[in-house]
Structure 1
Amino acid sequence: MQETIWALAPPAVAIVLALLTKEVYVSLFIGIISGALFFTGFQVIPALETTFTVMGERVGNNMNIIIFLIFLGMIVALMTKSGASCAYGEWASKSIKSKRGALFATTGLGALIFVDDYFNCLTVGTVMRPVTDRYGITRAKLAYIIDATAAPVCIIAPISSWAAAVGSSLPEDSSIDGFNLFIQTIPFNYYAILTLIMVVFIIVMNFDFGAMKRAAAKEPAEVLPEEEEDSIARPKKHGRVYDLLIPILSLIGLCIFFMLYTGGIFEGADIAGAFANCNSSLSLVLGSFFAVIVIFFLYIPRKIITFREFAGGLARGFKAMVPAILILSLAWTLSGICSEDYLNAGGFVSHLVSDNQLAHAILPPVFFLVALGLAFATGTSWGTFGILIPIAAAIFGDMGSQFLTITVAAVLAGAVCGDHVSPISDTTILASTGADCNHIEHVSTQLPYAMLVAICCLVSYVIAGITANGWLALGIGTAMLLIVLTSLYKKSKKAERTGYYTPESCGTERHGFSHEE
């Protein structure tokens, strides 16, 4: 069954089952077992032996990624316990003087907490909700800002749990370093970039459209009295804003330092060469380990947390990362079953499209749509790119071409988009929870925003596939988004000036909240 169409059965089984059952873990495992059965000629015991052999090999070879995720979970748990994020909220409540300022402070905090999307959603919502309430910002708008600066920020941040997961998704026999490929995809992850551009645009221009605007007109946010808002934002511990900044900056700085170190910067290599040849997974482990040490000496002597709380935070951080570790382990195993040493799905697909330039051209938009649909149906980004990235890498082999970079970027963009609009996505649920917003209202109000960006992304990936020029496609996609947003903004302002309100055009001014600061 090697290098035949049956080699595609394991990921196909995993995708179909995930779409039908919405259970990603079980679907991935059944996909793995089906691949092992094909490989062993449907002998059950040898198939199980093959499954756990591959799993042991893949998990063992990616142990540094698992250790990094554990340390990252510990860092998040300790920062949460310190009360530093609440200190940011207290500072924001005293410093912010306008609605626009409250939204920018929310976006800024979301961009700052890029190491993990779960921590991002809950922290930003809890900290900024009293501040945004004070300025009449609806909970639906807050939930959108949280969601739009969680996964989209994490997926373009080189030092994050998402970067580690993506970097480890490439097949083991690939000649391309996963971390370096992830870095190359950042400027071509159109959904993440265009979403952040859209967030800035609607904050600066101070307008909404579609279901978001109707929600603002129907149920304006409650404005909290000054004293109530202050009491909610007051930190529970003694943490300060720099207790949030120092650990994050330390994590970034230390990881970069160890990338240079493992790349041979002290052995005569230049900076570019050191980054290109570094052991990225080991560097992330070393950087995150020393970041935990920095937190210990930052918090314990000042009694921000007790030693017992520090130790408890380590355990809670480990537990928080178990679901991520499980889904990665299964995705790695599925990739291993399909690798060259077993079913060799890559060899089959590569031969299928190697001489067809048209097939290469349509792959970025196709992968974007498949990833979007799979992530929407399953509610998980990590499971989506764990399935699709090995397939994309297998198609292009060791070409290392612009096509590979753009196609992998399309997978990441589609996965984040599908996760963003899925009502069963963890981040979507956590965003509505953090904002204290009705979950269905959050899903329905952000859907037009996400779909507008998704359409611009699809056009961009079509252009990128045809021209093999990701930068040109990024420019066209950005221009398209800004033109549409500007048109919607002018239409909204015209409706307000003429006094003609419809459910689609009515704004918050009608209900006592001015669009102006």
Structure 2
Amino acid sequence: MTRTHPPPGDAAAKPVPVVEEAAVGPVEPPAVPAAVAKRLRPSHLLAAVVLLGGLAAGVFVYSQVAPQWREQKTTFNVYQNESGELAYRYSGEELPVGEVVPYDTSPLRAEALADLSGEPPLERQWVVETSVESKAESSGEGDAAGVRYSLLEPGRHYGLWSLLPAAIAVGLCLLTKEPLSALLGSVVVGALMLGRFDITDAVLLPSLASKSAATVLLLYLWLLGGLMGVWSRTGAAQAFAEFMTRRFVRGPRTAKLVAWLLGVLFFQGGTVSVVLVGTIVKPVADRERVSHEELSYIVDSTASPIAAVLAFNAWPVYVQALIFVPGVSFLATEDDRIAFFFKSVPFSFYALLAIAGTFLLSLDYTRFSGRGIRAAMQRARTTGQLDAPGVSPLSSEELAATRVPPGYRPHVLEFFVPFLLLVGVAVGTFVATGSPKVNWAFGAAFLASALTALFKGMSLGALIEGVGDGLKGVVLASVVLMLAVTVGGVSREVGAGVYLVESLGERIPAAALPVALQLITMVIAFSTGTSWGTFAVAFPLAMPLAWQVAGAGDVTNPELFMSICFATVLNGSVFGDQCSPISDTTILSAMTTGCDLMDHVKTQLVPASLAAAIAAALWTATVVLFA
């Protein structure tokens, strides 16, 4: 029999007949799967070799390679609060300093760590130094004599071996296209490097018991999965898709434009934007035959890049605490550093190019999108296949179909009311407290959806079945997310970021420093799967280095030079996080849009790399011409 797809509207394509096989009995399997299987055997064999080599290397590093300990110093503006105690502000919250010792007596200072054998005696320590700067040159918030308060933490690395866990994770992901085993293999390799041979009790359980893992479990498994399950059972998502199709969407282009516009509107960035946009737009995009590779790229590239540009969110408050440089007047106070963040936004060339690139893709202009996305677009438009053959999307069948109970009538308000409640709580709590309460937002939306379904007559049993389907639909992605958190923690412990910054950061002339910082942060974020974690590693090292290079080099406009270096760290971290297969936003983009994780990574990497290369040229030209 023959069926035709509905016309794609503004895609300007005619209905394409799709011939289905007649059910006339057993059919011999075609030769293609056998060929595919033969091609897969070498990659799986190579993956096994890579894993065994990584395990052996991990044991070698533990037994033969001594860690190199490095001082990690972060200088804060410390003040006396109303109680007369020393305090500092971090991420908008006032925190006590505690006991302070002179810097010269600390066992965590660089000189003491250089002579250290074994583990450092402390994990962190507050120290005080008296500088020779005058009051006018000091930060204005410390003592008039130039007293500086810093938090010292020991950082270690194993040289080039520090990149091993991240390399194993990425390599196995590319070879097997199966992120779960790849991440688990990376965790085991990192644990062996650290000498933690009891993998479950010494590595997995502490990581899974952390706040980050608990947040993944609560938000992305229970609340998000429950909400998506309720929407699937009530038909709310399908009702929204039909409403958007009738009123706004006229084909693939307008469906993608809706996704792009929602990504811009949800400028909170990160996982919040990814989850909201992906969940909302997927039913509409699926109906209009938008490939999952296209949609996941749009969702991912209008998350963190938007947050870096429309920074009316938690980013400036978090970042400002990491960029204080003693003696730099325009970074003196918290307000100065937040203002510096916004002044540097015009130099966020990568973020601006990523946003522009997804807008062009939404208009079906694919010259800069790469061959992978063009092939995916062609496949979806001509065959209706939203995924490539033989892939394993992170979303499951439980969320792909609508299972509305007999007699229940879906209404589009069952989608809009919880959605508006979700956005309202997230934005409202950000305005009120300076940090969006995402768990509250999703909890309120889930509760509103469930109560509405019960009020309209759905049985409790049917509702619970829907919640169960939702949990099953996201359980794999949630496990992958929790393992990604563990891999990121292991990579930081073995010193991937510290090694990269130390190896490359201090050997660069002024004209090349911005691109060097971009490359360093791209690799760190790609290796650890986190932009905010990269900020914490790179900014305290990069900003003083940029100021030192500006003073020693032929830089006529130091503030402009610092803004450019700041933007390269910010944007390089966003790029690495966005493209990393172990990043939460990458995984969630694939999960909420129904895309295979590695297909999303491979197709996104091409346009993102092009944008990063153009941004690098723009940063270099700006330094040469104007700084």
- TM-score normalised per structure 1: 0.56
Higher relative contact order (CA 8 A, sep 6+): 1
Residue number among 341, 357, 366 corresponding to 2:519 in the alignment: 366
Report the identity percentage. Answer: 11
* Partner Cα distance (2:530, 2:431) in 1: 31
| Number of the residue aligned with 2:409 | 238
The one-letter code sitting in structure 1 at the alignment partner of 2:253 is L
Say which SS state the counterpart of residue 18 (structure 1) adopts: helix
CA drift at 1:11: 4.1
Say which SS state the counterpart of residue 297 (structure 1) adopts: helix
Greater percentage in strand: 2
Say which SS state the counterpart of residue 240 (structure 1) adopts: coil
| Number of the residue aligned with 2:257 | 107
Task: Within 5 Å, give how 1:91-490 maps onto structure 2.
Answer: 91-95=243-247, 98-99=250-251, 102-109=252-259, 112=262, 115=272, 117=274, 124-130=281-287, 132=288, 139=289, 142-156=291-305, 193-201=352-360, 204=363, 209=367, 221=382, 236=404, 238-261=409-432, 263=433, 275=434, 278=435, 283-303=437-457, 306-314=459-467, 316-317=470-471, 319=475, 321-335=478-492, 337-338=493-494, 346=498, 349=501, 353=505, 358=510, 360-367=513-520, 370=523, 383=529, 385=531, 391-393=537-539, 395-396=541-542, 402=563, 403-404=565-566, 406-417=568-579, 451-452=606-607, 454-464=609-619, 467=622
| Number of the residue aligned with 2:163 | 12
Structure with max Cα Rg? 2
Say which SS state the counterpart of residue 300 (structure 1) adopts: helix
**Closer/same/farther in 2, CA of residues 234 and 390 from structure 1, 3 Å limit:** closer
CA contact (8 A) 2:260 2:362 kept: no
CA contact (8 A) 2:241 2:284 kept: yes
* Partner Cα distance (1:189, 1:80) in 2: 39
| Number of the residue aligned with 1:86 | 238
* Partner Cα distance (2:576, 2:234) in 1: 35
Residues 365-422 of structure 1, C-alpha deviations (whole Å, 9 max, x = no match)? 31476379x58xxxxxx736588555434633899975355324322224434669xx
- Whether 1:25 and 2:187 are equivalent positions in the alignment is no
CA drift at 1:287: 3.3
Which structure 1 residue ranges, 5 or more long, are not aligned? 38-42, 133-138, 224-231, 264-274, 376-381, 473-517
The one-letter code sitting in structure 1 at the alignment partner of 2:572 is A
Residues 13-45 of structure 1, C-alpha deviations (whole Å, 9 max, x = no match)? 1122124322542344135325523xxxxx867
**Closer/same/farther in 2, CA of residues 105 and 198 from structure 1, 3 Å limit:** same
* Partner Cα distance (2:218, 2:539) in 1: 25
CA drift at 1:108: 0.9
Residues 329-368 of structure 1, C-alpha deviations (whole Å, 9 max, x = no match)? 4423543x25xxxx79749946974686647422343147
Greater percentage in helix: 1
* Partner Cα distance (1:364, 1:243) in 2: 47
* Partner Cα distance (1:64, 1:20) in 2: 28
Which structure 2 residue ranges, 5 or more long, are not aligned? 1-66, 71-113, 115-155, 174-180, 267-271, 325-333, 385-399, 547-561
**Closer/same/farther in 2, CA of residues 149 and 19 from structure 1, 3 Å limit:** closer
**Closer/same/farther in 2, CA of residues 412 and 81 from structure 1, 3 Å limit:** farther
Say which SS state the counterpart of residue 411 (structure 2) adopts: coil
CA contact (8 A) 1:143 1:432 kept: yes
**Residue-pair matches, total:** 394
* Partner Cα distance (1:410, 1:443) in 2: 19
CA contact (8 A) 2:418 2:444 kept: no
CA contact (8 A) 1:148 1:196 kept: no
CA contact (8 A) 1:364 1:407 kept: yes
**Closer/same/farther in 2, CA of residues 407 and 468 from structure 1, 3 Å limit:** farther
| Number of the residue aligned with 1:226 | none
CA drift at 1:103: 1.9
* Partner Cα distance (1:347, 1:234) in 2: 50
* Partner Cα distance (1:52, 1:412) in 2: 27
**Closer/same/farther in 2, CA of residues 77 and 191 from structure 1, 3 Å limit:** farther
**Segments of 4+ in structure 1 off by > 6 A?**
47-50, 173-177, 183-189, 212-220, 232-235, 397-401
* Partner Cα distance (2:516, 2:158) in 1: 19
Residues 135-166 of structure 1, C-alpha deviations (whole Å, 9 max, x = no match)? xxxx5x644541332212333576xxxx99x9
* Partner Cα distance (1:299, 1:239) in 2: 9
Say which SS state the counterpart of residue 149 (structure 1) adopts: helix
* Partner Cα distance (2:412, 2:491) in 1: 43
Residues 103-124 of structure 1, C-alpha deviations (whole Å, 9 max, x = no match)? 2134315654874757866874
**Closer/same/farther in 2, CA of residues 82 and 10 from structure 1, 3 Å limit:** farther
Say which SS state the counterpart of residue 406 (structure 1) adopts: helix
**Closer/same/farther in 2, CA of residues 123 and 149 from structure 1, 3 Å limit:** same
CA drift at 1:234: 9.4
Say which SS state the counterpart of residue 194 (structure 2) adopts: helix
- TM-score normalised per structure 2: 0.48
